[in-house]
């Protein structure tokens, strides 16, 4: 973890230096099948969503790929079509040539939202209680197992 040295001025005019740890920021990327079974990748929070989508959709056999605007990129569309899936991603506003997508089919994206709803029920994951990255990934994977086995 990178540390920053902050210089603060005290009332007497003396300068004191203190080390402050950078805040922990992570993103959880999920691929969910029609039954709500997730496939998880945890990344740092400053990376773009579309850069990790290739690893998530690699090897998946499906008819459609539903995703939000954060995953709208030409590379994802090309990979998805190469795997034989139809892309159902709303285009970003800054696209020069907006793609069409099936708005009716996109309504089923709520399945992913429901998985995140179940995820946030676990206080330790929702508040990022575990500070170690490996422990956080393990907690998310255990959560996925309990979701799949219907233990919660």
Q: So what's the pLDDT on residue 78? A: 93
Go through the chain and tell me how many residues it has.
Answer: 152
pLDDT means per 10 residues in the chain (152 residues)? 34 32 66 75 78 84 87 90 91 88 88 81 79 80 76 51
Long-range contacts of 66-71 (CB under 8 A, 24+ apart): 66/105, 66/106, 66/108, 66/109, 66/112, 67/109, 68/109
Furthest-apart CA pair in the chain: how many Å?
A: 69
Report the first-to-last Cα separation within the chain, whole angstroms.
Answer: 33
Question: What pLDDT score was predicted for residue 17?
Answer: 32
State residue 115's pLDDT score.
79
DSSP single-letter state for residue 46: T
Tell me the pTM.
0.69
State the Cα–Cα distance between residues 122 and 147, nearest whole angstrom.
12
């Amino acid at each position: 973890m990178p540390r920053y040295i902050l210089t603060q001025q005290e009332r007497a005019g003396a300068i004191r230096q203190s080390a402050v740890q950078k805040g922990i920021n992570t993103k959880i990327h999920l691929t969910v099948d029609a039954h709500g079974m997730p496939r998880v990748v945890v990344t740092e929070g400053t990376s773009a969503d579309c850069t990790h989508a290739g690893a998530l959709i690699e090897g998946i056999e499906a008819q459609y790929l539903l995703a939000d605007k954060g995953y709208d990129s030409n590379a994802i569309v090309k990979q998805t079509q190469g795997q034989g899936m139809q892309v159902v991603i709303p285009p970003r506003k800054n696209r020069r040539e907006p793609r069409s997508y099936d708005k009716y089919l996109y309504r089923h994206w709520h399945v992913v939202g429901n998985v995140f709803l179940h995820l946030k029920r676990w206080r330790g994951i929702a508040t990022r209680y575990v500070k170690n990255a490996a422990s956080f990934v393990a907690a998310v994977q255990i959560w996925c197992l309990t979701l799949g086995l219907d233990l919660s």
